[in-house]
Amino acid sequence: MAFGRYSFMHRRFWIICSVIAAGLGVLSVLGLSSLGMHEKGLRAERQQEFITVAEKVRFDVKKKLDTFLATEQSRAYTDYQYYYVPMADNQAAALVRSPLGGALSNGLAYGYFQLDSTSQIVNPYAVSPDRASSVVKDYVGNLERNLLPALGNGESLQVTRIEPSDPKEDSLSASSYPARTLSDYIPSIRGRGAITDRKANEPTPAVKTKALESETPGKAGQGKKVASKSKSDSSRRSRYPIDLEQTDKTIQVQNRSRGNFYMNEAYNVANSRQQQEQVMLDESDLLAQRMMPDMNSFEVGQVQREQFARQKEQILVPNEVQQAAVEFQGQMSDVDIPGLNDVVQVRIEPFTPITVADDNGDNGVFAGQVFLLRHVQIEDQHLLQGFRLDERELLRQVSDSTQQFLRRGMGFDISKAELPEAAYTAVLDFGFGEVVLNLLERQPDWIMARVTQIRNWFFAILAIVWLAVIVALATFWRNMYEQVQLSRKKDDFISAVSHELRTPLTSIRMYTEMLEKDWVKTDGKRKEYYSTMRQESERLTRLIENVLDFSRIQRGKKRYEFTMGNVNTCIDEVVEMMRPYADRAGFTLLTEFEEVGSFSFDRDAVVQIVINLLDNALKYAREADDKFILVRTCQQKDYVVIEVEDHGPGIARSQQKKIFDAFYRCGDESTRQATGTGLGLALVKRFAEAHHGFVEIVSAKPTGALFRVGLANHYGK
Ligand code: ADP
């Protein structure tokens, strides 16, 4: 039965183990896969951060460009002249210096210039090209070499003057002069089909120049490369249009009085013909030379800029020029020109980018020099005004914006091409060209490092959990095993007790019956039967005493009565009591008592110790050749030692510790010869402990068991 229960528990245990192991296994797999998902999530999040940075940069750069263009667009057309007469009520207003006169560089604009219908280059910083500084000369030379050919050498600017039939009638409206647009002056652009032809008077629509730049060799090649790359890894790169098309494209109309317009035109013509050469001091050239030693060095430091601005304020129009202006105005007032107070409309178109190849061969990030041009029409006069886009300043602004929005651990590189190590590439498409903004990961493997760290923690925790579960299951297994062993021992105990009870009871019943029926004829036999019945009753009593004592001890109810006495006397009485049993079994009981003196002990406990040890010796040494049992007492330091020695089979070393456990019996129940309950030695041990003593087993010579029970003798002394 115990075996059946054991195997059932065994099976149940393994089922529990399997369920727990399966659960833990599933948890481990789930944990690992969620780690993988976490890694993917981190990568996606980081990717999103890069995209957000690129978006913000695009927005910021676009805002800067729009603001810049809006400022440039709102400039009066006269700002592009060296001197001009501002629009004022007083017709004799003095000449003033152009606000753009101070420097070649102004934010994103570099080198303002104006082209009139004769392809004359007028600029606000050099009164005469001959007297200009080398920086200005270089720049103007660049315009002549590169820009003018692109614009058809200015030939297209030659327009036929269309006289209004009656200037007085039409002076209030500019619409009688056919409006032209910038594309009318740039045949090279129109020829490439980027700009569709429009009818006269139609407001300028958004001018597309993308086709123009894509035809530039370097750019076209790059464009193709980028396109093919984007197919393979579109999530890591994207285009961000910063198109000037999206900026305000309204055509401005400014009003001026005809007198003011004539005056400015006259000065402009005079200036371009270098008539005032002898009287004008080119103070801005001097400044330009001082401040701009190198044309390409646009990075004028902040201190220099401020210094420059201060000096600019001090520049006054030279007296000679003012004098000439007053004279000119006097001449004008002498001549009777009709309609001087009429309103003249100045039509200013929005800026349009145009990319022109650089003859230096150094095209920078764009395919060439980018110029922003606007068409200004004043009645039948057509002007092109504009400036070169300061590419390096633009890149600096892109760089500033990027710096501002970068997140932790990010870096960047601005170049023409996509870098292979870039975590995300934003192609800022300006319409006239592209800037490739490579966003970099400063520590490219930080996500992997973080995931590895979490993974290590995960494995460590997993290992601890597995260990804890294994330890718990092992403990559970051990407890279960012990429970099973205990229950097996109890089963054995019950069958042993039944057996132990049955044997003496059977013989008592048999002898009683014989005596009762008077079947025993002789007195000797009768006496023998009575003696046997007594002995069997005593055996029963001993058995029951053992069981009861063990039960009392287990429940903590066992009471000991320590009294002073001589232990040798007590033991001798027990030996004498057991002698008849020994005689019957063919044993000789010997005693060797040493004088141990009087000490305090529980008499019943000592009696039971000696009975149990003698009983065992009689039981287990039954087959021994040497049938002497020696009971000895001696004094050993703090202990009175009782020894019982037999010469039976003895006890194997491996069993020696276990025999003192309750219900433990050596060997197998089926093969066991001697009867017993497995409580005898357990009680001996408990009683010895109650006397603060010990029990041990020593192998006897040549064979046999020698039990030594020590009782502390210091009580009552
Ligand atoms: P039992 O009722 O079985 O005698 P005990 O607790 O007295 O129970 O003894 C435990 C076991 O120790 C016995 O089953 C027996 O195998 C072994 N044993 C005890 N005394 C001796 C001995 N003198 N010689 C051999 N074996 C012994």
**Pocket perturbation via mutation, ligand 1, pick of 620, 669, 683 by most ligand atoms within 8 A of CB:** 620
User: How many Å lie between the centroid of ligand 1 and the Cα of residue 616?
Assistant: 6
pLDDT at 337: 59
d(CA 7, CA 646): 40
Could you give the C-alpha distances from 686 to 339, 574, 600, 669, in angstroms and in order? 139, 19, 17, 25
- Whether 285 contacts 377, CB under 8 Å: no
- The domain segmentation of the chain, as residue ranges, is 77-198+207-213+246-401, 477-712
Look up residue 444 and give its two tokens: 């490219």
User: How many Å lie between the centroid of ligand 1 and the Cα of residue 593?
Assistant: 24
Q: Which atom of ligand 1 is nearest to the CA of 667?
A: 16
Task: Give the closest residue to 136 by CA, choosing from 121, 148, 147.
Answer: 121
pTM, 2 dp = 0.58
Provide the 10 A C-beta neighbour count for residue 373. Answer: 21
Element holding 645 (H helix, E strand): strand 639-645
Q: What residues contact residue 511 under an 8 Å CB cut-off, 6+ apart?
A: 529, 530, 532, 533
pLDDT at 253: 86
pLDDT at 299: 41
Q: Which atom of ligand 1 is nearest to the CA of 676?
A: 2
Q: What residues contact residue 216 under an 8 Å CB cut-off, 6+ apart?
A: 355, 357, 367, 368
**Residue written as tokens 């065992």?**
616
Q: Which atom of ligand 1 is nearest to the CA of 649?
A: 25
Q: Which atom of ligand 1 is nearest to the CA of 646?
A: 23
User: How many Å lie between the centroid of ligand 1 and the Cα of residue 707?
Assistant: 11
**Pocket perturbation via mutation, ligand 1, pick of 500, 587, 658, 681 by most ligand atoms within 8 A of CB:** 681
User: How many Å lie between the centroid of ligand 1 and the Cα of residue 478?
Assistant: 26
Q: What residues contact residue 338 under an 8 Å CB cut-off, 6+ apart?
A: 167, 168
Q: What residues contact residue 466 under an 8 Å CB cut-off, 6+ apart?
A: 24
Look up residue 8 and give its two tokens: 């059932």
Element holding 629 (H helix, E strand): strand 628-636
Q: In the Cβ-directed half-sphere of 531, how many Cα atoms lie within 13 Å?
A: 12
Per run of 10 residues, the mean pLDDT along the chain (length 717 residues) is: 66 90 92 92 92 94 91 88 71 70 84 81 74 80 84 52 39 46 50 31 34 33 38 71 71 81 70 43 41 38 47 49 64 62 84 79 73 86 88 92 93 87 91 89 89 93 93 92 83 83 89 91 90 88 89 91 93 92 92 93 94 94 92 94 95 91 80 80 95 93 93 73
Q: Taking the mean position of all CA atoms in its chain, how far away is CA 75?
A: 52
Look up residue 294 and give its two tokens: 């190198």
d(CA 175, CA 163): 12
| Atom 7 of ligand 1: nearest residue by CA position | 680
Q: What residues contact residue 570 under an 8 Å CB cut-off, 6+ apart?
A: 601, 603, 606, 607
- Residues at CB less than 6 angstroms from ligand 1: 612, 616-617, 620, 646, 648-649, 651, 659, 665-666, 676-682, 705
Mapping DSSP onto H, E and C, the string for 149-175 reads: HHCCCCHHHCCCCCCCCCHHHHCCCHH
pLDDT at 453: 93
pLDDT at 176: 46
Q: Taking the mean position of all CA atoms in its chain, how far away is CA 603?
A: 77
Task: Give the closest residue to 385 by CA, choosing from 135, 78, 132, 107.
Answer: 78
Q: Which atom of ligand 1 is nearest to the CA of 704?
A: 24
pLDDT at 124: 83
pLDDT at 98: 82
Q: Is the alpha carbon torsion for 254, 259, 260, 261 positive or negative? A: positive
| Atom 2 of ligand 1: nearest residue by CA position | 676
Q: Which atom of ligand 1 is nearest to the CA of 682?
A: 6
In this structure, which topology does domain 477-712 adopt according to CATH? Heat Shock Protein 90 (3.30.565)
What's the DSSP call for residue 650?
-
d(CA 433, CA 243): 10
User: How many Å lie between the centroid of ligand 1 and the Cα of residue 28?
Assistant: 52
- Whether 591 contacts 632, CB under 8 Å: yes
